[in-house]
Structure 1
Amino acid sequence: MQLATKLIHAGVEPDPATGAIMTPIYQTSTYVQEAPGKHKGYEYARTQNPTRKVLEQAVAAVENGTHGIAFSSGMAAIEAMMHTLQPGDKVIASNDLYGGSYRLFTRIFAKYGIEFQFVDLQDAGRLEQFADERTRLIWIETPTNPLIRIVDIQACAEIAHARGALLCVDNTFASPWLQNPLDWGADVVVHSATKYLGGHSDVVLGVVVVKDVSLAEQLYFIQNSAGAVPGPHDCWLVLRGMKTLHVRMQRHCENARQIASFLRQHPKVQQVHWCGFSDHPNHAIARKQMRDFGAMMSFVLKDDRIETAHRILSSTRLFALAESLGGVESLIGHPASMTHASIPREERLKSGLSDSLIRLSVGIEDVQDLIADLEQALEKA
């Protein structure tokens, strides 16, 4: 089954009670049992919910995994993976990653005796220098947030497995339409389904996808025991969003290609980070492991002052100044004070995230309107 067909049909069956083609929202907290301990597969909604089960099956199918485990947010999904570790374990993570992940790693789990090292993994071979017998998990984003750096999934997987570690890929920026990390050797895929999977900025949800049965059982146990589960209506919203992921992503990517070219040619722009450029670092790897280059980009102005960036950020009319990404509407953001504010400034600068960096999530509006909006905002720079 091809991916576009999977997005509409995989994991979804007509409702057995009514034949409804859309998965119903099973809005219930508990289920009547025939006798003590005897039930029809459902006993309590934290443990199981039919709407959630269909979503988990669907996401697992489109990521070519066998088990999907849904959570109440992307951060809850990441937290669940951290709960598979033990004190004394080591995690190597990309040094250019979402600020919320950095905060969770350094301020929550580090105090429980888990060591985190943040490494520039554009050259995957650098893992050889840092991975040791205590390394249990390699954590990467590709493309990274917000510098759109590309990491070679296959190379990282080979090194991780040689060291007895798992490789987890946060695939939120790419979505399953552009990239399937499990096919390149990753053990775990994480999504903030709030973004492209949901696609309409109306739901918060996270999901983990794996192939290994024992790891899946461990994550289901954590899901049930910790209780960070999504409600059935949220699951239904993501299921609905997934049915149009392929057509949305095609327009996202078409628009992004034109906007990246416009920005690169603009006299006030110093540098544009977008992995579709042939001279973007690791562009060849992006071509290998991705189907297209995505709709996330960032850029730095020639006038590299935070005040200049703020003038642009407050001047757009269609690009909304807001957190998040992946919705049908275009968003503009300032990572240093928004998505990555939890990373100390010296760490941000070390990884290349300057104070004036602007991040775009390109939506599916008419691209000429989006370019005109950026043009008038840049005039104020």
Structure 2
Amino acid sequence: MTKDLKNKGLATKAIRGGLERSQFKETSEAIFLNSGFVYDSAEEAAGRFRGENDGFIYSRYANPTTSVFEERMCLLEGAEAARATSSGMAAVNLAIMSHVKAGDHVVAPKALFGSCLYIIEQILPRFGVKVTLIDGTDIDQWQKALQQPTSAVFLETPSNPTLEIVDIAAVADLAHKVGAKVIVDNVFATTIYQKPLELGADVVIYSATKHIDGQGRCLGGIVLSDEEFIEEVVAPYHKHTGPSLSPFNAWNLLKGLETLELRVEKQTDNASRVADALAENAKVARVIYPGRDDHPQAALARQQMKRGSTLVSFEINGDQEETFAFLNRLQLIDISNNLGDSKSLITHPTTTTHSSVSEELKAELGINSNLVRLSVGLETADDLVEDLLQALEG
């Protein structure tokens, strides 16, 4: 890690963390778009594979451009080590599957992104891992579920798409008493607004596709933790199963990090303005936004997050047909299941991101047919509000 930047500001870390220049002294990071590396001798190659000397072996294991991205993210997150992955879901899979084994117990909230829920609910039991799903906002349910030996806790906060807040510090305290690793998907809060490791979590994961790239260019993910967990648990699984981030995507993500704070702050300003405007409209039944006092867990959100979020969820006063009609009337905001983008994107979770979730669970979680999730972008806030209001009016 770049030691002399530890006490610098977030923006400085995001721009200069892990910076390595080649012999050409380029200003922007170089892209090492290669699969392999050569050695000066057979002895050097043998020593490299034995771990006796530093250097790169194969880009599936590590790559100079990808390593800069990992080091920069460590600096931002306050982590000791990291492994970058080809997508956010590759990061989720890596963090969980590298750690658990048959006979282990995993606890997670029911309120998860559809693909995350699939891994927890469908894949883990196939490998003999017991799973307990709970209401993540109810600390009593956490306490009950964690009365037995547990290998891992997995959670996302705020959750997708209902923006529920899980008390990271309280859950970490309970989990550590039974020896469980706490894995937090921090994609909605971003490293700008929430630091799970400082709150007691052991592992943080991101879909870097979202705010880190944030411009619709590429996929990526990352797992961050202490050096022991990354090097002894995550790294071997990563090396041998190959969910590696491409050097070109790593370079794109490095460019994204340079403007991350500026973009997220502006998007949050816009999201707050949009949430307030929607809350005043009679065509909207409910607005869910962690930055508003009427959020069910507003106090907890203020306690563990610096600001609200770039995401706003809300319910239309009407059924699915009327909700679809609202979406189809939007002229500026795009219908898309992605989020954290510079462009404002809106989706209907029950038929898109959470379409694989059972109807019973969707009803329990409040993922209703009139719920939409809006990822607020960088457009002029008044233009976004105008577009939403005209679509609501029909």
Alignment of 1:1-381 (within 5 A): 1-13=8-20, 15-36=21-42, 37-38=46-47, 41-83=55-97, 84-303=99-318, 305-380=319-394
Q: Which amino acid aligns with 2:15?
A: I
Q: State the secondary structure of the residue aligned to 2:350.
A: coil
Q: Distance in 2 between matches of 1:8 and 1:212?
A: 23
| Preserved CA contact (<8 Å) 2:82 2:230 | no
Q: Distance in 1 between matches of 2:365 and 2:133?
A: 10
Q: State the secondary structure of the residue aligned to 1:197.
A: helix
1:227-280 deviation per Cα after TM superposition (whole angstroms, max 9, x unaligned): 010110000000100010010011011000110001111011110110111131
Q: Which amino acid aligns with 1:186?
A: A
Q: Which amino acid aligns with 1:20?
A: E
Q: State the secondary structure of the residue aligned to 2:222.
A: strand
Task: State the shift of 1:38 in Å.
Answer: 4.3
Q: Distance in 2 between matches of 1:120 and 1:11?
A: 39
Q: Which amino acid aligns with 2:31?
A: I
RMSD of Structure 2 on Structure 1 (CA): 1.3
Q: Distance in 1 between matches of 2:217 and 2:347?
A: 18
Q: State the secondary structure of the residue aligned to 1:182.
A: coil
> Under a length normalisation based on structure 2, what TM-score does the superposition of the two structures give?
0.93
Q: Which amino acid aligns with 2:124?
A: F
1:255-306 deviation per Cα after TM superposition (whole angstroms, max 9, x unaligned): 0011000111101111011011113122111112111101111111222x11
Query: Gaps (5+ residues) in structure 1?
Result: none
Query: Gaps (5+ residues) in structure 2?
Result: 1-7, 49-53
Task: State the shift of 1:214 in Å.
Answer: 3.6
Aligned length: 378
Q: State the secondary structure of the residue aligned to 2:349.
A: coil
4+ residue segments displaced more than 6 Å: none
Q: Distance in 1 between matches of 2:355 and 2:25?
A: 48
Q: State the secondary structure of the residue aligned to 1:158.
A: helix
Identity among equivalent positions (%) equals 34
| Preserved CA contact (<8 Å) 1:125 1:155 | no
| Preserved CA contact (<8 Å) 1:82 1:109 | no
| Preserved CA contact (<8 Å) 2:103 2:128 | yes
Q: State the secondary structure of the residue aligned to 2:131.
A: strand
Task: State the shift of 1:212 in Å.
Answer: 4.3
Task: State the shift of 1:108 in Å.
Answer: 2.2
Q: Distance in 2 between matches of 1:198 and 1:214?
A: 26
Q: Distance in 1 between matches of 2:343 and 2:111?
A: 25
1:97-125 deviation per Cα after TM superposition (whole angstroms, max 9, x unaligned): 10110112223222111122221121334
Q: Distance in 2 between matches of 1:236 and 1:10?
A: 13
Task: State the shift of 1:138 in Å.
Answer: 1.1
